[in-house]
Homo-oligomer: A and B are copies of this chain.
Amino acid sequence: MQEENENIQFQLTDELVEQVELLIEEQNDKALKKQLDAYHYADIAEILDELNLDNAIYIIKLLGSETTSDILMELDEDNREKVLKNLSAKEIAEEVEELDTDDAADIIAELSEERQQAVIDQIEDEEHKAEITELLAYDEDTAGSLMAKELVKVYETWTVAGCMRRIRGQAQEVTRVHSIYVVNKEEKLIGRLSLKDLIVAKSEQKISDLVKVNVDYVNVNDDVEDVAKIMAKYDLEAIPVVDDNKTLLGRITIDDIVDVLKEEADKDYQMAAGITGDVEADDSIFELTKARLPWLFLGLVGGVGAFLIMEGFEGLFTGKAVILFFFTPLIAAMAGNVGVQSSAIIVQGLANDDVRGSVNSRLIKEMLLAALNGFILAIFLFLFVWAFKGEIITALAISISLVAVIIVAGLIGTFVPLFLNKRGIDPAIATGPFITTSNDILGILLYFWIAKTILGI
C-alpha cells in the first residue's frame, strides 16, 4: 500500500554507492541528477563520504549550489577539506552565498588565511559579506562563533499589523522562525514574541503591549558550553546573543547546541579511554597513533615504575612469600578499576552540575563506599588464597592490603578530578590512563608495604 509521498528511511548500501559510481563513470548526468534529487542533502553527503575525491567533486560540480552548500556542511570534516581544496575561491564563494551566516563563517574558517580573504572578496552580497566577516572575528568556543546573524527583529513601537507586514520580508531569509526579537530604537534587546503570539493578537495592538520582557539571552563572549547548559536547562530552541551594551547581535539555535553536546560527550568518552584529539574510527593510522600513543606511553612509564617497586622488594619476599608477586596484576587491576569508577562518577557529576557539597563529604562518602566494596571483595580473595595455599596469615595479608588499596584508589579517583576542576583544568583528563597508571603504582607500593608489615618481614 505504498503511497505517493511515502517516506522510506534512507539506507546507505554498497549497492547504492556502486550505482552512483557507475553513473559517474558513464557520465550519465541526467540519471545521476534525477536519482540524487530524490535524496535529502544529509543523505547525499553520506554517499559522497564513501566516494573517492574525484567522484565527490564531480557530483558537487553537477548539482546546484543551493543543494551542494548544504551537502558541504554535512560532509566529514576531512572530506570537506579535500573538496574545498579542489574548488576555486569563486566556486566556494558561490556555495557560501547560499548558506546562513553561521555555516558560511564555519566553512571559511576552515580555509587557509590567504584563501579566506580570496573567498570573502568574491562574495557578491555586501551585507552577507559584512556579516560573515563579523562572525569570523569571534573566538572559537564563544557564543559569537556559534551564532547566526539571520533572525527576525521588530521594534517595540510597531503595531501587530505593521509587524506582520514587515516580518514577511525578514522571514523569507530565515530558515526557521523560533522567536521574534523585540528591540528599542537603540537596537537593544528588550524582549521577545512568538509567531503564535502575533497570530493570536489583534492587528492594531502595539508590540510593546505584547512583548515578553523576561527573555533569556547570552553575551557574545560567553563560553559555548555555558550556552549549551542554559539552553538545555531551560528547554530553549533559540537564544538571542547580545554585546555588553545589550545590543542584539544574532541568535543561536538548538541544532547547533545538539552538535556541541554531542562533541562534548564524545570528547569526554575518548578521554576516559585514553584517546585525545577528537579522532574517528575512519581516520588515518597516523592520526590514530597521535591520539593514542601518548597515553600508552604513560602506561609504559607506570609499568616501569611498578617494575622498580617489585625489584626493590625482591630480596624481601622469598620462599613462600613469593606468592605475593603473583597477585600484583590483581592488585593493579582493582586499583585501576576503582579509580576509573570513582573519577568517572565525579567527572560526569561535574559536567551535569550535580556535584555539590564539600570536598570532604565527597571523600568520606567514597571512603565508605570503597571500604564496603573492598571488604566484600577481600572476603572472596581471602577464601581463595586460604583454600589454595592453606596459609591464613598470607591470605590475611593479601586481603587486608586489597581493602587498603581499594580505599586509596577510590579517594584518589575522587580527589583528583575535584582538585583539577577547582583549578580550572578539565577534570576529564583525570579519567582513564592517568588515574589507572597512578593507581597501579601506588596500589602495588601500598600492597607490598602492608603485606610486609603483616607478615613481619
Residues of B with C-beta under 8 A to A102: none
* CB <8 Å contact, B337 and A295: yes
Nearest Cβ on chain B to A177's Cβ, whole angstroms: 5
* CB <8 Å contact, A200 and B217: no
Nearest Cβ on chain B to A435's Cβ, whole angstroms: 10
Within the assembled complex, what's the spacing in Å between the Cα atoms of A380 and B230?
Answer: 48
Number of copies: 2
Residues of B with C-beta under 8 A to A314: 322, 326
* CB <8 Å contact, A199 and B437: no
Give per-residue flags for A406-449: 1 if the beta carbon is below 8 A from chain B beta carbons, else 0: 10000000000000000000000001110011001000100000
* CB <8 Å contact, A329 and B327: no
- A303, CB-defined interface residue at 8 Å: yes
Kindly name the residue among A191, A310, A331, A381 whose own CB sees the greatest number of chain B CB atoms within 10 A.
Answer: A310
- Contact partner of A348 among B76, B214, B270, CB < 8 A? B270
Give per-residue flags for A220-251: 1 if the beta carbon is below 8 A from chain B beta carbons, else 0: 00000000001011110100000000100000
- A311, CB-defined interface residue at 8 Å: yes
* CB <8 Å contact, A232 and B262: yes
Residues of B with C-beta under 8 A to A217: 7
* CB <8 Å contact, B333 and A299: yes
Give per-residue flags for A180-196: 1 if the beta carbon is below 8 A from chain B beta carbons, else 0: 00000000001100111
Which residues between 247 and 286 of chain A lie within 8 Å of chain B, taking CB atoms? 254-255, 257-258, 261-262, 265-266, 268-270, 272-275, 279-282, 285
Within the assembled complex, what's the spacing in Å between the Cα atoms of A304 and B402?
Answer: 13
- A40, CB-defined interface residue at 8 Å: yes
* CB <8 Å contact, A333 and B302: yes
Within the assembled complex, what's the spacing in Å between the Cα atoms of A73 and B376?
Answer: 38
Q: Which residue of B lies closest to A437 (CB)?
A: B333
Within the assembled complex, what's the spacing in Å between the Cα atoms of A275 and B346?
Answer: 12
Within the assembled complex, what's the spacing in Å between the Cα atoms of A332 and B307?
Answer: 12
* CB <8 Å contact, A354 and B171: no
Give per-residue flags for A280-296: 1 if the beta carbon is below 8 A from chain B beta carbons, else 0: 11100100110011011
Within the assembled complex, what's the spacing in Å between the Cα atoms of A349 and B176?
Answer: 31
* CB <8 Å contact, A300 and B348: no
* CB <8 Å contact, A368 and B213: no
* CB <8 Å contact, A235 and B255: yes
- A22, CB-defined interface residue at 8 Å: no
Kindly name the residue among A5, A50, A194, A279 whose own CB sees the greatest number of chain B CB atoms within 10 A.
Answer: A5
Using a Cβ–Cβ cut-off of 8 Å, how many residues does chain A contribute to the interface with B? 120
Residues of B with C-beta under 8 A to A306: 326, 329-330, 333
* CB <8 Å contact, A281 and B355: yes
- A135, CB-defined interface residue at 8 Å: no
Residues of B with C-beta under 8 A to A274: 337, 340-341
Residues of B with C-beta under 8 A to A60: none
Given the interface pairs A199-B195, A200-B168, A300-B377, the reply to whether A307 lies near B285 with Cβ below 8 Å is: no
Residues of B with C-beta under 8 A to A331: 303
- A88, CB-defined interface residue at 8 Å: no
Q: Which residue of B lies closest to A164 (CB)?
A: B199
Residues of B with C-beta under 8 A to A12: 356
* CB <8 Å contact, A334 and B300: yes
Given the interface pairs A196-B195, A199-B168, the reply to whether A326 lies near B307 with Cβ below 8 Å is: yes
Q: List 17 A-B contacts (CB under 8 A).
A: A42-B233, A76-B354, A195-B196, A195-B199, A254-B255, A261-B265, A266-B352, A269-B344, A279-B345, A280-B354, A285-B368, A292-B373, A295-B341, A297-B377, A325-B326, A328-B328, A333-B336
In the complex, given contacts A258-B261, A333-B436, what are 7 additional A-B residue pairs having Cβ atoms less than 8 angstroms apart? A42-B234, A50-B356, A261-B265, A300-B334, A329-B329, A337-B433, A340-B432
